[in-house]
Amino acid sequence: MIAMDRATRDNGCLQVIRGSNKVGRINHDQTGDQIGADLERVDELLKLQELVYVELEAGDEVVFHGNTLNRSDQNRGANPRWSLICCYTTRSNHAFKKTDQLQLETINMLRDSEIGPIGKAHLLILAPSMNPGRPTEAWLSWGKG
C-alpha cells in the first residue's frame, strides 16, 4: 500500500493485527454492506495479539502478508486519505470455498509507453468523483514537474 495522502488515526488509517498472518487464512463473509473477516475469530485474536495503527506520510509504503488481518476506520476528518493498494497472493494460498472472492489471473506486462494513456483514461472517469471541486484538467497535470 502506498499512501497518497497522510494517513493518521484521525482520518482512519490502516490497522493491522500483529502476527495474524500466522493463524492461516480466515473466512470472510458479508458484514453489513461490506465483506469482512469472521468477527468471532477476530475478537478472539485481538485478546492475544496487538492491534497496530499504521500511520503514514504521503509517499510512505507498507507491505504486509496477504493473510494479515487489516481494516481502517471511516474518515471523519477534513483531510482526504487516498492510497494505492496492490494485492498479490501465491497459488498455494487456496480459498476455503470455491465461492470465495479470490480470482487468480496472469499479470500481463505493459511497456512504459502504454501505462500513461491507460492511466489518463481511467483518471478522466474517476476525477470528478475524487474531488468534485477540482477541474479534471488539474488531475491530468498531477505528477508533471
Q: How many domains does the chain have?
A: 2
Is 97 in the same domain as 123? no
Task: Please compute the mean of the pLDDT values over residues 24-49 and round it to a whole number.
Answer: 85
Is 101 in the same domain as 128? no
Is 14 in the same domain as 35? yes
DSSP lists the bridge partners of residue 29 as 36
Give the per-residue pLDDT at 95.
Answer: 62
Is 77 in the same domain as 130? no
- Domain extent at residue 50: 2-107
Q: Which three cell numbers stand for residue 109?
A: 506486462
Is 67 in the same domain as 99? yes
Per-residue pLDDT reduced to its tens digit, 123-134? 677 666 655 555
Residue with cell 507498507: 62
Is 141 in the same domain as 89? no
Do you know the residue count of the chain? 145
pTM over 0.75: no
Task: Please compute the mean of the pLDDT values over residues 17-33 and round it to a whole number.
Answer: 84
Q: Which residues contact 134 (CB under 8 A, 6 or more apart)?
A: 127
Per-residue pLDDT reduced to its tens digit, 86-109? 877 676 766 655 655 556 667 778
Q: Which residues contact 93 (CB under 8 A, 6 or more apart)?
A: 25, 66, 67, 102
Task: Please compute the mean of the pLDDT values over residues 62-77 and round it to a whole number.
Answer: 90
Give the per-residue pLDDT at 111.
Answer: 85
